Amino acid sequence: IDNAALLQGLQAKFGPAEGFGLFEDLRWLNDPDAPTMIPQRKTYKKQSYSFNRAVPFRRHDLQKAVQQIHAGKRTRENVLKKININLNKMGSYAWVVSGKKTASGHPILYSGPEMGFSAPAIVSEGSIETPDFAVSGMNFAGVPAIAIGRTPYFAWSMQVGQGHTVDYYAENPSAVFLHRIETIKVAGSEDITIPIYRTAHGPVVYPLPYDPENPGDVILSWKYAHWGLQEFSFLRSNLEMSKAKNIKQFVQAVDRIPMSMHFCFAHRDGSIGYIMSGKDPVRPAGVETRLPLLGDGTQEWLVNQYKPRPFDLNPRQGFYGGWNNKAAADYDTNNALSLYQYGVFHRAHAVQDYLKARHNLTFEELRDLALNIATTDSPGEGGNPWKYAGPYFTMAVLGDPSPERLRALYLLSKWDGHFPAGGPAQWAFGTVRHDAWVLVDRWVDKVMEATFADELLFVDPTTGEVLKTWRDEYPNILFNVLLHALAGGSSGVVNQHDWFQDTAGTGKPSTASGIIVAALDAVLAELGPRPWNAPRGEISYNHDLLGALWTMPFSWRSTYGQAVEMGPRGPERIQSMFPLGQSGNILFGGLGPAGNPVPLFDPNYFSMIEVFDSFAHRDFPLFKIGQ
């Protein structure tokens, strides 16, 4: 929906053909230089869908719809924050390394799912062991399964996969029907009833509430590939994964999981593997999936036809690793969620660079890679943007040097790429951000503003209302478009528009080098003398009723972590960590002097803090059976 509004705005501002060219730059289909979970074995060229560039996208005017959808989202978020309900974004990092790259000669797996930090924690850890069955690892409160864990035969990870499992459909009023009435009981007040409307594709998501007497010009429904595959089937799949003794059984279990997930795994025979779960439906040829589909029956998914799911075993490079990145070279971006658009810069590089450069890796090194990558930061929520922008920015400065500019480059030349100041000893608990990180963050931001602010300013010609600015785009998308522009013809995605030109006629520099140097001067002037002492930031554990119960230094860290070394008879070493403590129980301890309730915490409510906050991990018992 956002994509359609973006395309409409660009075509209104630049004309049908040129506007579509800008849209292609901003919503590329496949960047062959993006890091992948499965190593690339051949050069992959980006695909291009058929689309009439000369005809403006006029299905509906979606600018108003997008504004209202985002306004509703902000309202919901603000209401939930007021009552201390966490809004967690899901992500994860994981790696599995074969014995040919480890010091022990055994495969080692690390899994770090990111699910936010609530109080009590969303996860706990446990073990089930019988005479003929054993599994241990992470589970969710209320879910009778070990979601991420290990058995005498396997260890596995899970990451959100961002498969293309969703499409939006533009509907006609005649397609909408009342599905059911939801009744919400409210204490001390009358019941609230909410009518739920659907089409053949799925629930109506705009407008909300839907009024059949006045449906409006735009009706949008939401179609999901996993309807009919009940979420509870995950429990069966998870049990089958836990009981699997060979790779065929494990893969068959993963294939039944009704959601898009990345899985890395290690088997006791020394094999390592990667598989992506979930169903990616086949769309009709020529359908532009970056935009809402037509709900008139001409753009339906092919019945029971799905794209082959990515799967691989024992790669030559000796590892799989990533951080919610692209599954394989030929796997296109998920067009329904631009947050995860795969580009040449992706935070997964922090994992892959480390593993590619090292051999004879120890258990401790692979475990502590979690702290290493969690203390990188970028427009893409992790990773080191200077590695990618640095060569271009440095070349621009050396072409127009000054003492201040050269001092900035010298600062960056001594930087380790992590945002805490003070080196590895400060990664876990340091309180100040490195001046080099501050400089890169502000410099890249200023360059992106000068590059994109003119093209991405949309104003209502009638009211003068600002409909969109460059700040409304996800920053990692713009950073990748910037990298594509800087690379020019050598880029995996060659831009169609010259983003550096002065489109608005403001007199700004109109070359990449001019913009880069001017941006550096502006940032140095704004920051003033060093040190800048930018605060690191904190992660707060919020209880729904009691508010913040604990804080720890910010990092892009996981909610749970497990490191497992798999020997020929099962796990030979297991270390893990989870937040806060082994109990979430809080009792009422009466009222304090101000009349506020006094919480009585279970003795184990905060028992894991020393282990978790420091990324220390702790030993977990091995299995008695299967050894």
As a whole number of angstroms, the distance between CA 276 and CA 261 comes to: 6
How would DSSP label each residue in 332-377?
---TT-GGG---S--TTHHHHHHHHT--SB-HHHHHHHHHHHHT--
Do the domain assignments include residue 20? no
Query: Do 247 and 306 belong to one domain?
Result: yes
- Looking at 149-158, 253-262, 363-372, which range is the least confident one? 253-262
pLDDT at 333: 86
Residue 358 falls inside a structural domain? yes
pLDDT at 139: 93
For β-strands 586-591 and 293-294, DSSP reports them as unpaired
pLDDT of residue 345: 98
Residues 287 and 154 in one domain: yes
Question: Per-residue confidence at 89, pLDDT binned at 50, 70, 90?
Answer: low
Reduced to 3 states (helix: H, G, I; strand: E, B; else coil), residue 287 is: coil
Least confident of 284-293, 448-457, 568-577: 284-293
Assigned domain for 36 exists: no
Sequence-ordered list of residues with C-beta below 8 angstroms from that of 537, at least 6 positions apart, any chain: 553, 554
The 10s digit of each residue's pLDDT in 235-286 is 899 999 999 999 999 999 999 998 899 999 999 999 999 999 999 999 999 8
User: Which DSSP string corresponds to 100-159?
Assistant: GGBSSSS-EEEEEEE---EES-SEEEEEEEETTEEEEEEEETT--S-SEEE-SSEEE--E
pLDDT one-digit tens code per residue, 9-39: 999 999 999 999 999 999 999 999 999 999 9
Q: In the block, which residue shows the tokens 């880069």?
A: 516
Q: What is the DSSP letter of 471?
A: G
Task: Give backbone dihedrals phi and psi of 84, rounded to 5 degrees, phi first.
Answer: 65, 30
Cis peptide before 597 (omega within 30 of 0): no
Domain assignment of residue 154, given as a range: 91-164+231-374
Write down the pLDDT at residue 49.
46
Are 202 and 123 part of one and the same domain? no
pLDDT tens-place string over residues 221-240: 999 998 876 677 888 999 99
**12 part of a folded domain:** no
pLDDT band at 47 (very low <50, low <70, confident <90, very high): very low
pLDDT surpasses 50 at 119: yes
The yes-or-no verdict on residue 627 having pLDDT over 90 is: no
The CATH number of residue 367's host domain is 3.60.20.10
Most confidently modeled of 115-124, 213-222, 227-236, 478-487? 478-487
Question: What's the one-letter identity of residue 478?
Answer: L
Q: Which two tokens stand for residue 374?
A: 């969690």
Please say which residue of 511, 527, 543 terminates a domain. Answer: 527
Domain match, 241 and 315 both: yes
d(CA 537, CA 294): 45
Q: Are 185 and 254 in a shared domain?
A: no
Does the residue 379 lie in any domain?
no
> Bigger pLDDT: 503 or 48?
503
Mean pLDDT of the chain: 93
Return the structure tokens found at 11. 């075509």
Taking phi first (over 0 means left), then psi (-120 to 50 degrees means alpha), and beta for anything else, what does residue 528 get? left
355 and 435 co-located in one domain: no
Give the domain-ending residue among 349, 374, 399: 374
In a domain, 537, yes or no: no
> What's the pTM?
0.94
Q: Give the chain's end-to-end CA distance (angstroms, integer).
A: 54
* Residue that finishes a domain, picked among 325, 348, 374: 374
How far is residue 500's CA from residue 402's CA, in Å, rounded to a whole number?
A: 23
pLDDT tens for residues 558-606? 999 999 999 999 999 999 999 999 888 999 888 888 888 899 999 999 9
149 vs 234, which has greater pLDDT?
A: 149
**Total domains in the fold of the chain:** 3
**Residue 56 within a domain:** no
194 and 104 in one domain? no
Q: Same domain for 285 and 320?
A: yes
User: Rounded to the nearest 5°, which phi and psi values hold at 68?
Assistant: -70, -40
pLDDT over 60 at 51, yes or no? no
- Say whether both 465 and 369 belong to one domain: no
CA diameter of the chain: 77
Task: Please indicate, yes or no, whether residues 453 and 514 belong to a single structural domain of this protein.
Answer: yes
Mean pLDDT of 94-108: 99
Q: What percent of the chain has pLDDT over 90?
A: 80
For 135, 412, 437, 445, 559, the CA distances from 516, given in Å and listed in that order, are: 54, 15, 17, 11, 38
Local confidence band at 414 (pLDDT 50, 70, 90 cut-offs): very high
pLDDT at 45: 54
d(CA 565, CA 364): 11
Peptide bond into 420 cis (omega under 30): no
Q: What is the mean pLDDT of residues 102-107?
A: 99
Question: CATH code at 426?
Answer: 1.10.1400.10
pLDDT digits (tens, 9 = 90+) for 540-551: 999 988 889 999
Note the pLDDT of residue 40. Answer: 84
Q: What is the mean pLDDT of residues 301-314?
A: 94
198: enclosing H helix or E strand? strand 192-198
Token pair for 304: 């029971």
Q: Which 3 state secondary structure label does DSSP give 623?
A: coil
Res. 441 pLDDT band, cuts 50 70 90: very high
Same domain, 211 and 241: no
- Whether 288 and 316 map to the same domain: the answer is yes
**For residue 67, which amino acid is it?**
Q
Residue 619 covered by a domain: no
* CA distances, 601 to each of 141, 270, 597 (Å): 18, 44, 12
Report yes or no: 66 and 378 within 8 Å, Cβ to Cβ.
no
3-state secondary structure of 371: helix
